Structure 1
């Protein structure tokens, strides 16, 4: 019984201490002890003991001139380590399942591989889709909505080797794809209509990491009759929402994500 009580007290102590860390996390700058204690709803004398321990551990640092407190270097190291350990497939699983449930479409997740966008996870459509989509499949850059998402966000130096190895595409198709990249960045969405498989359409959205760089892309694919490729339609909004949800879990800065869903070219369904 005694051991159980000690363990419980220790957990409670951590919970109390991290109320102070959360105050510092939400602050726009360093704060005086009195303000930290007030926001954490605890006496300043108690807060001081915790802060002293956090300073010693490197989680918190104190300005020697102003005596104000802020997060320390070790807090930054912990955050960076947490980001490195995030598995985008695992983080995306719930959003992919929800997107498939809401749309009934085939949904898949891609990351950038040495041969281009490669599918690493998928959720099958409610109705069988008569097109080959398998984990490990690499998608083309110019014909696929998914590929054009990476064209829009990856540095050209990082994709030149893939462009060189891809089969030559129609010059007109390539030009239209290039011209669509600015609009894809505005929408944070790309669309494909019968450009790989006749009768099929897809919508793809970028997923961003903690640095605001593209980490993956989520795509919904279906028969043209089953998928609404209106940039302001419900399917587009749901694909975008799934990408935003995963991006936030990866620590994406809020200012990177598109919040306003008003389409910059409301009647343009094919240029992207």
Structure 2
């Protein structure tokens, strides 16, 4: 146990120092050498060299071949793009999800897909919430949630295969053929329903959110107890959730009629 604790402390220390190195570049100066970084942050040069080498290998830093100093790499731009995109999805969904929760009386989520999991970007509780396995930032298996399935259904086949292969025991009660058939049906109908798959007595209905290109980049879901959901007609719930997802998609620049017109012109 003591050894594990020491390893964890070492790992966290390395992460902290790597972040400190990257934060140096928030200053006007664009390039730093190993000695400068060590002096600025009061870190041993050997440690700085090791961390800079690792950051370079992942594309977060690059070495100028002429000055031998280091500047930010393109991976930083990729991360900033993700942050901007996720923030935009979060921002435009706020005024859509709240009225949806008020009207339906059940909890709503906004989520994105990360590997074989979904991550919740937003959650709005209803007036009579139940215990759910969800919170902002939490990860759940995509194949066990309504929102996860509806996002996954629109992904490329190779990505779906990757998720199925990595999900392991999360879908052991279904064959790969059954999972693929379910995802095909979800894509065809434009929504998903997950009944008691991640929590007993809980139903989740999901719909896809698209960006301006028509790519599904997120999803929303309404989640509630089976007995309360049964009291409302499924068709009514599905219609409201699909319309809310479409409104968020429009706020992101996607218009169904425009996409259909463009498709007809290409054909």
TM > 0.5 between the two? Answer: yes
What is the aligned partner in structure 2 of residue 244 from structure 1?
A: 246
Count of aligned pairs between the two proteins: 176
With over 3 angstroms needed to count, the CA separation of the structure-2 counterparts of 1:213 and 1:221, relative to structure 1, is: same
Q: TM-score, normalised by structure 1?
A: 0.58
Specify the structure having the higher radius of gyration (Cα): 1
Match of 1:101 in 2: 102
Give the CA deviation at 1:160: 4.8
Report the Cα distance in structure 2 between the residues aligned to 1:124 and 1:101, rounded to whole angstroms: 10
| TM value normalised by structure 2 | 0.59
Aligned match of 1:4: none
The alpha-carbon distance between structure 1 residues 224 and 173, as it changes in their structure 2 partners (threshold 3 A), is farther
Change in 2 beyond 3 A, CA 1:89/1:190: same
Tell me how far 1:204 sits from its aligned partner: 0.2
How many Å separate the matches in 2 of 1:85 and 1:202? 22
Residues 202, 229 of structure 1: 8 Å contact kept: no
Alignment check: 8 A CA contact 2:106 2:222 kept: yes
Deviation at 1:171, TM superposition (A): 4.5
Shift of 1:230: 8.1
Cα distance change, pair 230–180 in 1 and its aligned pair in 2 (3 A): farther
Partner of 1:44: none
Deviation track 1:35-90 (CA, whole Å, cap 9, x = no partner) reads xxxxxxxxxxxxxxxxxxxxxxxxxxxxxxxxxxxxxxxxxxxxxxxx96970000
**Partner-residue secondary structure (3-state), 2:212:** coil
SS at match of 2:128: coil
Aligned to 2:181: 179
Looking at structure 1, the residues matched to 233 and 156 of structure 2 have their Cα atoms a distance apart, in angstroms, of 25
Of the three residues 193, 196, 200, the one matched with 1:198 is: 200
Unaligned stretches of 5+ residues in structure 2: 1-83, 261-267
**1:59-208 map, 5 Å:** 87-168=88-169, 169-172=171-174, 174-208=176-210
| Corresponding residue of 1:223 | 225
Question: Following TM superposition, by how much is the alpha carbon of 1:158 offset from its aligned partner in structure 2, in angstroms?
Answer: 3.6
Q: Which residue of 2 aligns with 1:253?
A: 255
Greater share of residues in helix: 2
- Superposed CA deviations along residues 183-217 of structure 1, whole A, max 9, x for unmatched, are 21222100011111111101000011110000210
Structure 1: gaps spanning 5 or more residues: 1-82, 259-272
Q: 1:257 to 1:93 in 2, by over 3 A?
A: farther
